[in-house]
Every structure is written in C-alpha cells, then in structure tokens.
Structure 1
Amino acid sequence: MAVASSSSSPPSPPLFDNYTYFVLVRAHCLAGELQAAMDLLREMEQQPGMAPTPSMYNFFVHALCKSGKVPEAMEVVKNMKDGACKPDVVTFNTLIAGLCKAGRLDEAQQVLDEMERSGFAANLVTYNTLINGLSSAGRSGEAVLVMQGMTTTPDTQTYNAIIHGFCKSGEIDRAYGFLEEMKQRAGCSPDTFTYSILINGLCKSSNLRKADELLQEMIGRKDCCASVVAFNTLVDGYCKAQDLDRARELLSSMLEHGCAPDVVTYSTIIDGLCRCGDVDKGFALLEKMVSRGCKPDVVTYTVLVTGLCKAGKMVEACRLVKRMLEDGCTPNAVTYSLVFDGLCKIDKLDMANDLLTSIRDKGRITDVVAFEALLLSVKKRLLDRAAFQKWKLETSINF
C-alpha cells in the first residue's frame, strides 16, 4: 500500500488556539522577548483559519516602544495598515505615547493627523498623551493648539498638562489663566495635582502670597485633599525667604487639616532655622518630629550638624553623629566632611579619631572612598601634630 504524498495530506491543525497565542505573545512582550513575540505572530498568520488580533499587535507595539525601538514599532503599524489585521485606536495611542517618550513629537502629531484622515476618532487618551508630551518638551503653545482642536471635551488631566507646561517655562500668568478657565468648565475641576503644580510655579517665581492663597483655596475645596507636596513646596518657599514664622504656621495648619507632615517638611524647617542661626529651635523641632512618629533621615541630621559646625559647637556635632549611628541612620560623605573638618580646624584630633573609630566599629560607612580620604586626612594631621610636638621637645632640650 502506497504512502500518501504530502500534497494530498490535510493541513496540520494549529498548534494553539487564539487565546493561547494571545497569552504567549503577551508573556513574551512583558518579558522583553520581542523576537519570540514576533515569531509567534508570524506563525499565527501562517495557520489556516487563524489571525492575530489588534490586541496582540498592540502589546507588541507597546513592548517595542518601551524597549526604545520606536522605528520598528512604526514599521509594524504600517504593515498592519497594509495587512489583514488593521490598527485600532489603542494601536495609534500606543505609538503616539512611544513617539512622545522618545521626543519625536512632530511624528506623534503626524500620527494623530493620519488617524483622523483614516476615519479613526481620537479619544481623550490620544489628545492627553500628545498634549502632555508637547507641554513637557516646552512646546506649550502647540499643546494649546492641539487642545483647541480636540473633538472631545478636555478633562482635568488635559488642563494639568497645559498648566504644568506653562509653569515649567515660567509663564505663570498663562498657567493661572487656564486654572480660571478650568473652573468655569462644567465637569472639569482642579484637583490636588493642579494646585500643587501652580503652587510650585508661584514659589519658583517668588510669588509666595499668591501661592499661599492657592493653598488656602485648595484646603477649602470639598473635592480636593490637602496635599503634603503642596504644603512642603510652600514651606520651602517661606524658609528660603527666611519667613520661618509662616513656615511653622503652615506646619501647624497641616496638622489641623489632617495632612501629616513628613520628613521633608520637618527637615526643610529645621534647615531654615539652622541657616538663621536658631540651632536650638531646630533641635526642639527635631524632638517634636520624633515624638510625632516621624523618623529623621540623613538630611535632617546633616542640616543640624551643619548648623552646629557653623556655630562652632563641635562637641554637640559629634554627639549628634553618634546619635545618628544609635538610631540606625548612616551618615553620608557630607556629614563626615563637616564634622571632621570642623574638629581638625580646632585641633580636636583625638575627638576626630575617636569618632572615626566609632563609625567604623558600627559599620556605618556608605561612601568608602570618602571615608578613607577623611581617615587619611585625620591620621596625617595626627602625625603632623606628633612631629610638631617632637620638634618642640627636641628644641627645648637643645637649648
């Protein structure tokens, strides 16, 4: 009996069903195994009665963009348009996002134009992605034009992107104008992020009064939560302006409105107090911070160490470094340099050597190179002092 030829054999059944292919393509994309994902898509195209879905290609396009292979992603979308599996809105949105992230904003705008010419209705995601990309790149004027040409209603995210762009470029008045426009638009109201962006922009332009007014407006809104970021931004602004009274009032206001101050809040005010020479008040705030359950970090301790060193209180500075070690907070190169330089300048070399030993014994060394340099510096000063004492002794004997 003759064996049937391959030409008369029925086609082999697909290795997998549609869902299995989808799962495998998605898994390879998530793992960054792009060639394996592409091979599966091509294999699927060759199977009778099987075809990749737009969702599969969307995962692949996203993975390509995420890996920085934007030109390859563009080629895939082009092939989709010419093939059986046509791109959908998600495909275009994914490509626009990849182009924006890569800084290829002109091409992203071209994709939007092509979408609309092809009869695809751009949605909020499409517009917001492009507007955010343009605004982040300092092209806020173009972002506004895109917003004005939207076929959907702008939302809070749209306005936030525009406001952020103008604040970033220092055009605070224009940013403020969009806040007012936002308030007038039905169904679109400023959120915590909106206020935080503007407060930051106003502080950078030294308009603390207006920033403070916005903060109070944010606190007074029922649809907005008090933001620690917004408070911290304004606290920093007042500290830089040396208005420590208002900075501390804001700290109290945070507590009153259920917005827990964080380590940044406390560290900023402590730094401001130390810069104004009020190290004792800085220490008092440190104790309040600890009592409220907020753990100081290396920045908190370092600003206090700086204040003590500037005031010539080296013994207290050493004690504070030892307290850091006991609290499990590792000093950094700045902390080391401040203390050891201060001790060496006032010839407290024994104290410096003792502190070095304490730090080394506790294993609290993050910057080994800086630490070894300081260690050599202290040892050299000790040797220089010993040599000087030896010279003095020899001189007195000779006389």
Structure 2
Amino acid sequence: MALASSRRSGDLLPYLLRHLSTASLFPVSPHAFDPDIRRMAKSHRFSEIEDLLESRKINLPADASARELQLASSIVSYASSGMLHHALRTLDDLPRLGSTRTLLSLNALLFACNHSKTLFRRVPDLFSDLSRRHSLSPDKVSYGILIKSHCLARNASRALSILKEMDGKGIEITAVSYTTIIDSLYKENKPEEAERLWNEMRDNGVSPDPAAYNVRIMHRAKNGNPAEVLALMEEMKSAALEPDTFTYNYLMTCYCRHGYLDDAKRVYNELQEKGCQAECIYS
C-alpha cells in the first residue's frame, strides 16, 4: 500500500479518510506515506517510483470501491513525490481501470499536493478544474484542503472568502477549517482578526476542539506571559476539554521564555510521570 506498506487494502479506507478529514493544522505524520517511496523521491528516483506504483495497478481488487481506495493511495504517493502528471493520469484512468471515481480520489490528490513543497500552490486551480471536469461536488473536506492551501501560501484573506462561499452553498464549516485560518492569521501577525474569527466560530455554533485552543495558546505562549496561557487553559477546561501534550509544551516554553525555569521543570516532570512526551524549549 502506498500510504502504509504494512497495511492491508481493507484497513486503508478508515486510515485515509481519517487523515483527509482532519488534516489541516498540523503536519501529517511521516508514516502516512510509504517510506520506500519517500526515500526514492528524496533521491529523485522517479522512474523507480513509477515502476513500483504502475505495478500495483495490475492486481487490483474486484470491487470497484476497493479499487478506488487502492488507486487513491497511488495518487497520494505520486502527488506527494511531486509527480503531479502521474497523479492526474491515474485519476483520469480510474474508470478504465474498473474503479469508481469519487471525492475520495479528488480529496486524496488535493491533500497530497498540500503536503508537497512544490505543489500546494496548485491546489486552488486543481480544486476548480478537476471537480468540474469529473462532475464531482466538493464537500467540507475538499474545502478544508482548499483553505489549507491558501493558508500555506500565507493568504488568509483568500481563505476567509472561502468560508463565505461555503456558507452560501450550505456546506458545513468545521472547527478544522476555522482553526486553520485562525492559525494562519496569527502567523500573519493579525491577532485581532484571529480573535474575531474565533468569536465568529463560536457564534455560529461550532465548538472549538483542543487543536483550536492550542492555536490560541501557542500564540499567547509566544507573545504573552504564563498567566495568559494558564487563563486559556482554564477556559479550555471549563469547556470540558483536557489540555494535551502540545498544550503543556507551549506552557513550558512560555515559562522558559520568562525565566520561570522551576515552573517549567515542574510541568515537565509531571508530564514525564504521566508517560507523556514533553519538550521544553527555551527561546
């Protein structure tokens, strides 16, 4: 399997869908892609990648949906290796190969492009062209990937306009999409706009998840003081959400930045006792 060589094709669907439905804010795990293909891509051994992935098109499952799943993994591997032409050719060839062609394949391609250093800027055009060419109506996952591409290009204002487009089409705007833009606004040094969008998200009935809170906490850890970080953590707990390892790492970093090394060590030791991986970075 191109997404995880040790996984059977039947195990890949929930794995792929989980990444496609949640990938926005944090980098995807390096284990999401076949390590052999990643090594070949780094060495620019593209002909070997093609030979390997094309060989996987020979013995495909009999079921059309299962075929799409296996071929979608090849699409991801091609796109994540920077081989966009091959990824597009595979998407085009799905019916010829006896496969269905659904949003799973389109989203897989767009998702992989976002995780390519050279292709994420192509996502907006691909989103428009491919959905029209293949008569596929983008869903909330597709739009989430589109939003991420604009944020990667440091164009949060364009991403904001996508929210309006989604609202006009009646497409659900998820916490992931809101969080992606909030994170980008902070990175573009627009904290007031980030807070405005945070309030808009809550006003629209979308409940922040731990990742959303961690974006705000990360910003306060970098630009504020430990008291502000702790206040956000209390707000998080009052929303019945438990701070995670990321949260405590940001708190420790903030303690270190302000010279409160004993407090940082205390948090570090508490995390170690709980078996969590802690990283206290002084900066």
The TM tier, using the shorter chain, reads 0.5 to 0.7
Residue 178 of structure 1 deviates from its aligned partner by 1.9
The residue number in structure 2 matching 1:290 is: 237
User: Normalized against structure 1, the TM-score is what?
Assistant: 0.48
Residue 294 of structure 1 deviates from its aligned partner by 1.3
Q: What pairs with 1:206-225 in structure 2 (closer than 5 Å)?
A: 206-222=154-170, 224-225=171-172
Flag the structure with higher helix content.
1
Task: Name the SS of the counterpart of 2:82 in structure 1.
Answer: coil
Q: 1:101, 1:331 → 2: CA distance?
A: 26
Residue type of the alignment partner of 1:257: N
Give identity over the alignment, percent. Answer: 23
Superimposed CA distance per residue, residues 302-343 of structure 1 (whole angstroms, 9 cap, x where no aligned partner): 32343244234568x479849x959x96786545x86xxxxx
Q: What pairs with 1:78-93 in structure 2 (closer than 5 Å)?
A: none
- C-alpha contact (below 8 Å) 1:263/1:296 kept by paired residues: yes
Task: Name the SS of the counterpart of 2:161 in structure 1.
Answer: helix
1:176 to 124, 128, 136: 124
RMSD (Å), alpha carbons: 4.0
2:75 to 110, 117, 131: 131
Superimposed CA distance per residue, residues 199-239 of structure 1 (whole angstroms, 9 cap, x where no aligned partner): 223222212222222244335443x4332332332222222
Task: Name the SS of the counterpart of 1:260 in structure 2.
Answer: coil
Q: What pairs with 1:2-13 in structure 2 (closer than 5 Å)?
A: none
Q: How many residues are paired up?
A: 234
User: Normalized against structure 2, the TM-score is what?
Assistant: 0.64
Change (3 A) 1:149 1:302: closer
Residue 176 of structure 1 deviates from its aligned partner by 1.0
Residue type of the alignment partner of 2:140: T
- Structure 2 unmatched runs, 5+: 9-33, 38-48
Are positions 1:143 and 2:87 aligned together?
yes
Q: 2:251, 2:53 → 1: CA distance?
A: 49
Change (3 A) 1:218 1:106: farther
- Structure 1 unmatched runs, 5+: 1-64, 69-99, 339-399
- C-alpha contact (below 8 Å) 1:143/1:162 kept by paired residues: yes
The one of the two structures with greater contact order (alpha-carbon pairs below 8 A, sep at least 6) is: 2
Residue type of the alignment partner of 2:51: D
- C-alpha contact (below 8 Å) 2:131/2:138 kept by paired residues: yes
The residue number in structure 2 matching 1:109 is: 54
The residue number in structure 2 matching 1:246 is: 193
Q: What pairs with 1:1-399 in structure 2 (closer than 5 Å)?
A: 66=6, 103=37, 105-110=50-55, 112=57, 124-125=68-69, 127-151=71-95, 154-167=101-114, 168-184=116-132, 188-222=136-170, 224-312=171-259, 317=263, 321=267, 334-335=279-280
Residue type of the alignment partner of 2:166: M
Q: 2:127, 2:173 → 1: CA distance?
A: 18
Superimposed CA distance per residue, residues 263-314 of structure 1 (whole angstroms, 9 cap, x where no aligned partner): 2221221221231235444333222212111112233233234324423456
